[in-house]
Amino acid sequence: MRTRAVLFVALVCMLLGGDLPAGNVAVRYKEGLTHGFLTLNALEGERIAVGDLLEVVRGDVVTIRLTYHFKDGSVQDEQTVFSQRRNFRLISDHLVQKGPIFPQQSDVMIEMSSGKVTVRTTDEKGKDTPRNRR
* Average pLDDT, 10 consecutive residues per value, the chain (134 residues): 49 52 69 87 94 92 95 96 87 94 91 91 73 63
At residue 75, the pLDDT reads 97
Look at phi and psi of residue 74 and say left if phi exceeds 0, alpha if psi is from -120 to 50, else beta. beta
At residue 127, the pLDDT reads 72
